[in-house]
Amino acid sequence: MEEIDARLREDVRLLGELLGEYIHAQCGEVFFDKIERIRLGAKTGRLGSEEGAEQLTRTLGELREDELQPVARAFNQFLNLANIAEQYHEIRRRAPEEPPPFAVRALPELLDRLLAGGHAADALARQLGRLEIDLVLTAHPTEVTRRTLIRKYEAIAAELAVLDHGDLLPAEREAVHERLRRLIAEAWHTDEIRRSRPTPVDEAKWGFSVIEHSLWQAVPAFLRGVDRALHEATGLHLPLEAAPIRFSSWMGGDRDGNPNVTAAVTREVLLLARWAAADLHLRDVEQLAAELSMQEASSELRARTGEVDEPYRVLLKQLRERLFATRDWAAAALHGEAVRSPAVLQNNRELLQPLELCYRSLHACGMGLIADGPLLDSLRRAATFGLFLVRLDIRQDAARHAAALSEITEYLGLGRYADWNEETRTAFLMRELDSRRPLLPVHFPASAETAEVLATCREVAQAPAASLGSYVISMAAAPSDVLAVQLLLKECGLQRPMRVVPLFETLTDLDNAAPTVERLLLLPGYRARLHGPQEVMIGYSDSAKDGGTTAAAWAQYRAQEGLVEVCRRQGVELLLFHGRGGTVGRGGGPAHAAILSQPPGSVPGRFRTTEQGEMIRFKFGLPDTAVQSLNLYLSAVLEATLLPPPAPEPAWRELMDRLAAEGLAAYRSVVREHPQFVEYFRQATPEQELGRLPLGSRPAKRRAGGIESLRAIPWIFAWTQTRLMLPAWLGWETALGNALARGEGELLRRMSRHWPFFGTRIDMLEMVLAKSDAAIAQLYDERLVEPGLLPLGQQLRGLLSQACAAVLELTEQDRLLGHNPEVRAAFSVRNTYLDPLHLLQVELLARYRLHQEQACSPLEQALLVSVAGIAAGLRNTG
């Protein structure tokens, strides 16, 4: 068996032993022995021992009712501790002879390549300073771990960092072990699962917490590294105001199918963001005021402060008072209307100017070393996060806007908007957008749903422009969908530009994305309202659910190609917004590779993408991890901008067309056309139970109905829990199998080697197939599925086997991830703890369905712990 890195193995062993010690002390020797028998049975069973597998099954079967949840918790805790060890391993101290991780090397090596390729140093510096990367933080219904526990996990990682110092004295090492014991004990006694469903405001606070505890430290550290790499390569520095990566959020703004996100919630979240930003900047300014005690200052600064002894402190204390006023006003506004005093900061220049003035003065007076310390970090935080922390996007379904307009037009005696064709709708909307008179009567008696749409538009109109990102229209299909939002915003008082963004999600809508946007750009008057780039969002999750990942990936690629060409032809800048999920089945995967696999010209110095909740924790939960993630984003966007991949060869396109068509037919023949599929899905996976568990603020379904009504996240998550991973690979087994049978293997390999789009898809497919496990999926069938549906489960596992065989033939390996033994080894370690959780979950599901347990019952809590543990063990799950 492959070996994981010795230091990682030692950290995993240490944390596991400390957890075992505590379970032994807390729960007794008999219970601890059961845990050990389960663990050893799973380990030997994985290695092929029938005796081990029987021991595992027998020990689990003998568990008493009151032991189910503690056993699930034990394995859940171990998997979370393994995650902490792995996460820390990525950022651990390297010995001088060890190469730094790729994330650290990526930018310096790229700059060297670009300079060697003829790019001018000053042009590189300008391009780097002008990059616009927007990471949009979203809530996540499968992020079940509570913030309280996440903080404890972060503290454990910090103690591992202390242990990494090889010169610790024995007493110092024992002190670290003692702190680890205490943290593990605290985690064991902390309820890891929410008892109630989080509200959208809770989710927003979780996002703010990630900024406070990680990104606030990570951003200036990241920008210092970028500046250092740029200076070493070119002799030039990043501009002070450069903020190549900024953050937006959907938490509190995404109301698509979520009735819990209201106009009042959006207002509250905007105010909470202002309070949090003021509070964080206030901490910075108070520290600076304590440190900048120097007396020498420039005449420019003296002009602001007068002839005082400590001019920097005087200026910073003025800023501190304004931040106090801003924070107090936001707190008061959260509890009702508050009078805004002139001291409240209104725009980011008011925050930046005093800091910039101090910075210039220190440099002018020969104190650049001091200026380039914490003051520079504060400046970069102010440039990145500003007064609003994150920009809040608004998202709503196109049908809600059409329904609101129908209500308005019917009330005015103009007919029913929903019944009009596209030409009539467009003509009406353009007339009203150009009209100086209002369309909406003052006392319009709106229904509750329409009143909520209008209330949201009024909140948008009243909020500061810098606090908002884009207004995203899900299920957009026509130019009128964009114009409708523009008109509703205008009628509600919006008098400034705001990006209104069509989101193309289904395969049909993706195919029509470029023609739709071109018709929009050709409308008279539309361009006058378009300030900045035309933003278009590409939906990954729903397109994959609609037609499988084979067809969806190609549809997304072609849609981007078409949009790039349309905007080039129309002379309009394009900003593509990628709605990527955390998993392969939802368009997820390694961000660096994904960006470099986009069509040429689609990443022109700007890139926008969603970051899903549980992946936010893994990518940005620790400051050093966040720095590495930000480095990967920046280097990938810079490379895709200046060294875009070549366009695919005609033969590659033809083969990809065939793969997509065959993959689509194979996927839909199962998901849409098999008469037993929906019932099998509901019996074989925990989909029904997931909808009742307190995971996220959104309902599991957009509306009543079958698979088509189910959200992409629970759709993926349910299959992941059983390890069949069906949405991530279904269709590829037929597409690749047919191509290989036609003798196109060498063409596929050439595509994989030389076309980043295809190579990345195959890499992600191989990764998810390595995480799948037909034997585990069969256990769910045997216990939970009625006999008449079992042949379908057997058929699906057969298709999984075909997918694995096709990938192995294509990659010319004898086992999946044969080229990546460390990742294979990490999976092997996790399976020892995942196998018992799967077996437990099967038993818990059977009992849950038999007894129809009430919410928050012990059985339901044990089930949710198993869900959380499997999610933790597989990492990118939802």
Residue 282, token pair as written in the block: 């206030």
| Cα distance between residue 729 and residue 732, in whole Å | 6
- From the list 281, 545, 578, 838, the catalytic residue is 545
| Cα distance between residue 81 and residue 19, in whole Å | 9
Q: Measured at the alpha carbon of residue 272, what is the angle toward residues 497 and 386, in degrees to the nearest 5? A: 55
| Cα distance between residue 133 and residue 226, in whole Å | 14
Cβ atoms 504, 538 nearer than 8 A:
yes
| Cα distance between residue 449 and residue 465, in whole Å | 25
Question: Is residue 545 annotated as a catalytic residue, yes or no?
Answer: yes
Secondary structure (3-state) at 82: helix
| Cα distance between residue 111 and residue 64, in whole Å | 61
Question: Is residue 237 annotated as a catalytic residue, yes or no?
Answer: no
- From the list 43, 89, 140, 152, the catalytic residue is 140
Q: How many residues does the chain have?
A: 878
Residue with tokens 């088509």: 708
| Cα distance between residue 749 and residue 79, in whole Å | 36
**579 pairs with which residues across the strands?**
539
Fill in the amino acid letter for 97.
E
- Residue 664 vs residues 675, 680, 797, 808: alpha-carbon distances, Å: 18, 20, 19, 22
Distance of CA 59 to the CA centre of its chain: 38
- Residue 225 vs residues 230, 237, 616: alpha-carbon distances, Å: 9, 11, 21
| Cα distance between residue 522 and residue 625, in whole Å | 45
Give me the phi and psi of 650, to 5 degrees please: -55, -40
Residue with tokens 């497919």: 765
Q: 273: number of CA atoms within 13 Å, CB side?
A: 30
SS (H, E, C) 205-232: HHHHHHHHHHHHHHHHHHHHHHHHHHHH
| Cα distance between residue 33 and residue 783, in whole Å | 26
- Residue 59 vs residues 39, 204, 830, 846: alpha-carbon distances, Å: 10, 42, 20, 18
- Residue 836 vs residues 40, 297, 843: alpha-carbon distances, Å: 10, 67, 11
SS (H, E, C) 124-161: HHHHHHHCEEEEEECCCCCCCECHHHHHHHHHHHHHHH
Burial of 141 (0-12, 13-18, 19+ CB in 10 A): buried
Enclosing H/E stretch for 535: strand 534-539
- The runs of H, that is alpha helices, within 435-495 are 448-462, 479-491
Burial of 445 (0-12, 13-18, 19+ CB in 10 A): exposed
| Cα distance between residue 691 and residue 702, in whole Å | 12
Residue with tokens 């396109």: 653
Positions annotated as catalytic residues are: 140, 545
